[in-house]
Amino acid sequence: MKAEDSQKLIAGKILRGESPLNLEMPFEKLEGFLTLTESFYVRTHFPIPSIHKDAWWLRVEGDVENSFAINYEQLLELASTTIPMTLECAGNNRSFLEPKVKGVQWGLGAVGTAEWTGVPLSILLDRAGMKANASEVILEGADGGMLEDPKSPPGQLKFARSIPIEKARADVLVAYKMNGSDLAPQHGFPVRAIVPGWYAMASIKWLQRIIVTDQPFTGYYQTIDYAYWKRRAEVAELTPLTEMQVKAQIAKPAEGDVVPANSGVRVQGTAWTSNGEITKVELSTDGGSTWNDTNLLGEPKPNAWRLWEFNWQTPAAARTQTLIARATDSLGRTQPVERDRDRGTYMINHLLPIEVEVR
Ligand SMILES: Nc1nc2c(c(=O)[nH]1)N[C@H]1C(S)=C(S)[C@@H](COP(=O)(O)O)O[C@H]1N2
Ligand SMILES: [Mo]
């Protein structure tokens, strides 16, 4: 794979699309455990809705005893919690797929970690009182429009996704702060969902409606887009994407970088998984022939990435070296060597070699 030379930068981020707006963090700019809001990738499907917080209401409805609406001021009065959490777009790393596939051509930077502050969704669900048959919660954003995809519904469509009741009650946040400040418009102002451990399409921005239901939700972004082929008795079924897959990424050095020969070079990156923690990140500097354990930094935090580093003693002679990182988690899961094509254009976590010039 080759570094792209002609990347257009907007305020330090790689422009992947103007309308809808898609911006990627150059991953070699990794700042530390937390990603600054101004560096954080942006993924939108429709124009960013402009919502005044005084005019915003969140409705909780469907299979509940008491449907209600809550405004911004009232939401901020409820008990809140703050957690660091990694958001990764399900299409992160797509530009490395061979053969090429459709979709935003993300490199390494459609991922970031921020501190999110919000009200546990369970508090709102308890207030509404879910009926006994409730099985899922649909989260709907205020953004929408018409799509050209012949498989999309004709007319207006809103961005919406569902999560099972157990997950909704467990750790989902109705968030109004990112890294200690009000959400920025592009990140979902005034309020977004934060669904820990799941690919970021579930973390609905510009949240305006929570619909409790006893039926599996089969909306466009649930079953046609953001779905993959899962085999049951060898029959492929379109299955909504859910949890992030275990992955390590190398931030520094970056693809094509020149590093000094016969020197100590610090290789740095991040690794994450869902539902467990990262227990090991290995690094190969010889294209996968031999592997070294790297140092995991800091403490593990649920559903947030872990920084790692390795002090690489570079060879004395000038040559191209291939670096590969490989993460393993506490559930014994590790990254596949080969791409599973049933995953379509999503869930890209097979091993990704990068080439570095030793000079
Ligand atoms: N309402 C709404 N929510 C959304 C989206 C969207 O287009 N509309 N995009 C989703 C996708 S695919 C991703 S990767 C994340 C991106 O969040 P960010 O822009 O804050 O990084 O938001 C998710 N939530
Ligand atoms: Mo995404």
pLDDT tens, 43-64? 999 999 999 999 999 999 999 9
The pLDDT-based confidence of 3 (bands split at 50, 70, 90) is: very low
What's the confidence (pLDDT) of residue 1?
45
| Cα 76 to averaged position of ligand 1 atoms, centre (Å) | 22
Evaluate if residue 34 carries a pLDDT over 60.
yes
Q: How many CB atoms lie within 10 A of CB 311?
A: 11
Evaluate if residue 133 carries a pLDDT over 50.
yes
Contact (Cβ atoms closer than 8 angstroms) between residue 224 and residue 151 = yes
What's the confidence (pLDDT) of residue 5?
52
* Topology agreement, domain 20-240 and domain 247-358: no
User: Which H or E run contains 272?
Assistant: strand 264-272
Give the predicted TM-score (pTM) of the model. 0.97
Evaluate if residue 78 carries a pLDDT over 80.
yes
228 lines ligand 1 (CB under 6 A): no
| Cα 47 to averaged position of ligand 1 atoms, centre (Å) | 12
User: How much of the chain exceeds pLDDT 90, in percent?
Assistant: 97
141 lines ligand 1 (CB under 6 A): yes
3-class DSSP assignment, residue 167: helix
162 CB contacts (<8 Å, ≥6 apart)? 136, 137, 138, 139, 213, 216, 217, 219, 222, 240
Ligand nearest, relative to CA of residue 187: 1
175 lines ligand 1 (CB under 6 A): no
94 lines ligand 1 (CB under 6 A): no
- Mean pLDDT for the stretch of residues 257-279: 98
Does domain 20-240 fall under CATH 3.90.420.10? My reply is yes
267 CB contacts (<8 Å, ≥6 apart)? 250, 252, 253, 283, 285, 294, 309, 310, 311, 312, 323
The CATH number assigned to the domain with range 247-358 reads 2.60.40.650
Ligand 1 nearest-atom number relative to CA 141: 1
Burial 52-91 (b: 16+ CB within 10 A, else e): ebeebebebbbbbeeeeebebeebbeeebeebbbbbbbbb
What's the confidence (pLDDT) of residue 4?
52
The pLDDT-based confidence of 6 (bands split at 50, 70, 90) is: low
Q: Mapped to the 3 state alphabet, what secondary structure does 1-52 carry?
A: CCCCCCCCEECCEEEEECCCCEEECCHHHCCCCCCCHHHCCEECCCCCCCCC
What's the confidence (pLDDT) of residue 306?
98
What's the confidence (pLDDT) of residue 314?
98
Q: What are phi and psi of 124, to 5 degrees?
A: -70, -40
Domain residue ranges in the chain:
20-240, 247-358
Question: Whose CA is closest to atom 21 on ligand 1?
Answer: 42
Burial 12-28 (b: 16+ CB within 10 A, else e): ebbebeeebbbbbbbbb
Question: Whose CA is closest to atom 19 on ligand 1?
Answer: 42
What's the confidence (pLDDT) of residue 7?
83
41 lines ligand 1 (CB under 6 A): yes
What single-letter DSSP state applies at residue 198?
B
3-class DSSP assignment, residue 109: coil
159 lines ligand 1 (CB under 6 A): yes
352 lines ligand 1 (CB under 6 A): no
State the Rg of the chain over Cα.
21
Evaluate if residue 274 carries a pLDDT over 90.
yes
| Cα 42 to averaged position of ligand 1 atoms, centre (Å) | 7
Q: Mapped to the 3 state alphabet, what secondary structure does 204-236 carry?
A: CCCEEEEEEECCCCCCHHHHHCCEEEEEECCEE
The pLDDT-based confidence of 199 (bands split at 50, 70, 90) is: very high
Question: Strand pairing of 111-120 and 81-88?
Answer: antiparallel
Identify which of 24, 27, 186, 201 to mutate to test ligand 1's pocket (most ligand atoms within 8 A of the CB): 201
Question: Strand pairing of 258-259 and 354-358?
Answer: parallel
294 lines ligand 1 (CB under 6 A): no
225 lines ligand 1 (CB under 6 A): no
Evaluate if residue 2 carries a pLDDT over 60.
no
The amino acid occupying position 106 is W
| Cα 204 to averaged position of ligand 1 atoms, centre (Å) | 6
- Mean pLDDT for the stretch of residues 75-94: 98
pLDDT tens, 316-344? 999 999 999 999 999 999 999 999 999 99
- Mean pLDDT for the stretch of residues 111-130: 98
